[in-house]
């Protein structure tokens, strides 16, 4: 149902009693008055204005939606005054066109005889599996991979009934209904999963995952040899394995796994897949019939030619002047050696910003580097903005000057962890896909 959008000016026309509040809301606070405090002569507290606006809006179909605080007014009533932009919610900008471009670039490395699929597990690496999968399907992806059956259900709802969706985790106990209703193809990882699938969903599509040395998921060689005849008689749609060291092209494990996979699958008559992003970059001998890029789609290593996908912009809540000798944050772990300006911004470890970044990370105000000082706390970071001219509204943790892998390197982790850990409190803003 189409929801009518109104402005506070329109509401004020319905109720003159709302006008004092309206003027206060639309203008920045006078010098010396704290933003959010009650100006003289205005009905006390947001509850008072809610009562006024509830009655004033009764005739324009939005009365019930007006019961809320001033933030709700801004979101639901279309207030566009720039003084309201510094709300305490960070923005995660997601470039869907960049994801599409990265998929096309990886597909071009494989040629037309290899199908380039897409891995959208972990909610599309934290960026929204639905939006990501839809963009990739438009770019040309015709096969998708997820980790769990529940993830597959969500992706199926976006893609429709035709494109295959494989589940890396296989057929777990209790998954039969989800697999059947969403028409998922589980990658069976053991003889136990094989038996479960054939008993509960006879004739339903499936694939097989083999362990070629990673010792994580998949049937080991002896197990596969014992059940291969039975499994192949049921016509699996894919046989796959996964490389342990593809981010290190010269690692001997890669050649070892390649040889093992070739030995276990030679002449099977089933489409085969060994490589994700790293394997794609190692060349045609690793490509087989289907490749399954993941992190490379989202701008991460080892695909150094990837286009950046995310920018994380965090709003400044407050800026204070710090005098030499004063400390910042929990534990007094940072003490100013000179006078400086400190910005407190609205994100913390509850949003996936690792506490290990305390005193180590750098944020950016345009092209100006701004060190994180003191500890990362649950909801807040304190940033040195002494060298920033004027008053910044936002600081970037991820963006043109710092990729997910750059930030990961600060604390000796990987871009995957940075990306998939980005919290649910960020307002996700998507660019238009091609």
102-122 residue pLDDT tens: 999 999 999 999 999 999 999
Q: What are phi and psi of 29, to 5 degrees?
A: -65, 145
3-state secondary structure of 246: coil
Q: What is the Cα–Cα distance from 56 to 50, expressed in whole angstroms?
A: 10
pLDDT digits (tens, 9 = 90+) for 139-164: 999 999 999 999 999 999 999 999 99
Per-domain residue ranges of the chain: 8-84, 96-298, 310-430
Concatenated DSSP letters of 301-367:
TT-TTPPP-EEEEEEEEEEEEE-TT-EESGGG-EE-SS-EEEEEES--GGGT--GGGTTT-EEEETT
Banded pLDDT at 433 (limits 50, 70, 90): confident
Whether residue 17 has pLDDT greater than 80: no
pLDDT digits (tens, 9 = 90+) for 182-220: 999 999 999 999 999 999 999 999 999 999 999 999 999
C-alpha torsion 291→292→297→303, nearest 10: -60
How does DSSP classify residue 167? E
Please work out, in degrees rounded to the nearest 5, the angle formed at the alpha carbon of residue 308 by the alpha carbons of 304 and 310.
140
Q: Output the average pLDDT for the chain.
A: 85
**Nearest to residue 120, comparing CAs of 426, 430, 419?**
419
Q: What is the Cα–Cα distance from 59 to 414, expressed in whole angstroms?
A: 55
Q: What is the Cα–Cα distance from 372 to 38, expressed in whole angstroms?
A: 33
Q: What is the Cα–Cα distance from 130 to 39, expressed in whole angstroms?
A: 45
**Nearest to residue 35, comparing CAs of 80, 72, 79, 88?**
88
With 0-12 CB in 10 A as exposed, 13-18 as middle and 19+ as buried, what is 217? middle
pTM, two decimals, is 0.80
More confident residue, 253 or 28: 253
List strand residue ranges (DSSP E) for 132-278, in order.
144-146, 165-167, 185-188, 207-209, 239-240, 272-273
Cite the active site residues: 121, 330
CATH number for region 310-430 = 2.40.37.10
**Nearest to residue 268, comparing CAs of 297, 227, 305?**
227
C-alpha 294: how far from chain center: 13
State which CATH number among 3.30.460.80, 1.10.3720.10, 3.40.50.2000, 3.20.20.10 fits the domain covering 96-298.
Answer: 3.20.20.10
pLDDT digits (tens, 9 = 90+) for 335-381: 999 999 999 999 999 999 999 999 999 999 999 999 999 999 999 99
CB 229 within 8 A of CB 178: no
Strands 340-345 and 427-430 come out as: unpaired
């Amino acid at each position: 149902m189409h929801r009518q959008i109104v402005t506070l000016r329109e509401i004020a026309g319905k109720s003159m009693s709302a006008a004092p509040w309206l003027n206060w809301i639309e203008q920045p606070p006078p010098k010396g008055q704290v933003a959010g405090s009650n100006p003289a002569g205005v009905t006390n507290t947001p509850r008072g204005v809610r009562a006024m606006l509830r009655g004033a809006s009764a005739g324009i179909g939005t009365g019930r939606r007006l019961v809320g605080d001033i933030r709700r007014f801004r979101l639901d009533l279309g207030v566009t005054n720039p003084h309201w932009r510094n709300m305490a919610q960070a923005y995660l900008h997601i470039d869907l066109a960049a994801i599409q471009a990265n998929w096309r670039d990886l597909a071009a490395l494989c040629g037309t005889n290899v199908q380039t699929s897409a891995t959208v597990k972990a909610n599309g690496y934290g960026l929204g599996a639905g939006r990501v999968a839809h963009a990739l399907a438009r770019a040309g992806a015709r096969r998708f991979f997820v980790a769990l059956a529940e993830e597959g259900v969500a992706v199926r709802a976006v893609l429709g009934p035709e494109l295959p969706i494989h589940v890396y985790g296989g057929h777990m106990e209790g998954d039969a209904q989800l697999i059947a209703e969403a028409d998922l193809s589980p990658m069976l990882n053991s003889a136990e999963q094989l038996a479960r699938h054939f008993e509960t969903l006879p004739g339903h599509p499936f694939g097989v995952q083999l362990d070629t040395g990673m010792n994580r998921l998949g049937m080991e060689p002896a197990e596969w040899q014992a059940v291969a005849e039975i499994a192949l008689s049921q016509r699996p749609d894919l046989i796959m394995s996964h490389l342990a060291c593809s981010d290190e092209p010269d690692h001997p494990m890669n050649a070892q796994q390649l040889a093992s996979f070739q030995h276990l699958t030679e002449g099977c008559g089933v489409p085969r897949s060994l490589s994700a992003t790293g394997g794609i970059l190692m060349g045609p001998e690793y490509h087989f019939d289907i490749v399954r890029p993941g992190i490379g789609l989202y701008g991460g290593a080892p695909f150094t030619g990837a286009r950046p996908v995310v920018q994380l912009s965090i709003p400044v809540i407050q800026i204070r002047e710090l005098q030499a000798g004063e400390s910042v944050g929990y534990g007094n772990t940072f003490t100013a050696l000179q006078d400086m300006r400190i910005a407190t911004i609205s994100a913390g470890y509850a949003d996936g910003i690792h506490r290990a970044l305390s005193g180590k990370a750098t944020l950016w105000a345009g092209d100006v580097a701004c060190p994180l000082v003191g500890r990362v706390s649950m909801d807040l970071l304190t940033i040195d903005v002494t060298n920033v001219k004027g008053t910044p509204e936002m600081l970037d943790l991820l963006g043109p000057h710092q990729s997910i892998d750059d930030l990961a390197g600060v604390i000796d982790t990987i871009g995957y962890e940075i990306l998939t850990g980005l919290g649910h409190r960020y307002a996700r803003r998507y660019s238009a896909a091609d």
